[in-house]
Amino acid sequence: MSGFSWDRRIARTSELLRNQSSVTELLKFYQRLVRFQKTVYESMDSAPDHDVSALVPHFSTLLKLVKEAGSADLKAAAATLEQSSPADRLELLRAVWQHEVESHELSAEPVFFANVLLQPFAEFLAEKSASTTEASPPQCPFCGSRPQLAVLRPEGDGAKRFLMCSLCGTEWFFRRLMCPNCAEENKDHLPVFVAQEFDYVRVDACDTCHTYIKSIDLSKNGNAVPVVDELATVSLNLWAQEHNYKKAQPNLFGV
C-alpha cells in the first residue's frame, strides 16, 4: 500500500491550495471529497462481508456534496441520480467494481460517483490483504484496475519506480524503462518531460502508443502526496494533450 493516510491527503491539499491558485476550485472540491471518503473508509470496519452494498447508504451524502460544490455536469448527474433507486445505485457500483463500465455503456459522470465511493472501499480491502508481487504487471495485482500514476521512491543513489492503482491505491513495482500501457522498452521511444515549475513531477510518454503517465518523484519532493500532486499539476496534462499524448488512465475527475 501507498501509506498516504486520508489526513495526509487533506493536509497536502491545504498546502497546495496556498500555492496553486490556478486550480483552487478543483482542489477545494477535491478536499471535500477526500474528507467524505475518509468517513466512508472508517465505516468499512462495521460493513458486513465488505460487500459494495454497504456503500449505497453513503450515496445521498455524496449527492448533496456534489450539488453544493461540483461542476455543472456533475450537479446535473447528481440531480439524475437522486431519482434513482437503491437497486440502481447498487448496480452502478457493481458495474464499476467489476470493470464492466463499457458493457453497461456508462458515461463519465455516473462513474465518477461510483469511484468516489469505491476508492475508500477498495483501499480498505487492499490494506487488509497481505498479497504482494515481485512481478511488473500493467494492472493492479489486487483489484485489477489500471494505474493512475507512477511514484518514484528513493533507493540508494537513485529512485525505484512503482505504479499506483487508480482505485484501491495499491503500489507495485514496475520497471523504469517500460511503458505501462503497451510494454514498449526502447528508451528512444519513451521520452520524459519535466516542467520547471514542477520539477518533481514527470510526464513519462510513449511514442509507440502515444499515451503518458505522470510520475511523482519523492526523491525530489518528500512532502508530495502523489494522488494530490498529480491532480494539482493539471497544466502538465494540458501540455501532454497539446503534444498528442493521451493519458493512459484519467484521474477521479476524468483528467
- pLDDT tens figures, 223-253: 999 999 999 999 899 899 999 999 999 999 9
pLDDT tier for residue 3 given thresholds of 50, 70 and 90: low
Contacts of 171 (CB under 8 A, 6+ apart): 1, 2, 151, 162, 163, 164, 165
Dist CA 171 CA 189 (whole Å)? 25
Which pTM does this prediction carry? 0.92
- Cell reading at 243: 503534444
Domain range summary for the chain, segments of one domain joined by +: 6-128, 147-247
Dist CA 165 CA 162 (whole Å)? 10
- pLDDT tens figures, 55-80: 999 999 999 999 999 999 999 999 99
- pLDDT tens figures, 90-144: 999 999 999 988 767 888 999 999 999 999 999 999 988 766 556 668 899 999 9
- pLDDT tens figures, 100-112: 887 678 889 999 9
Dist CA 12 CA 42 (whole Å)? 20
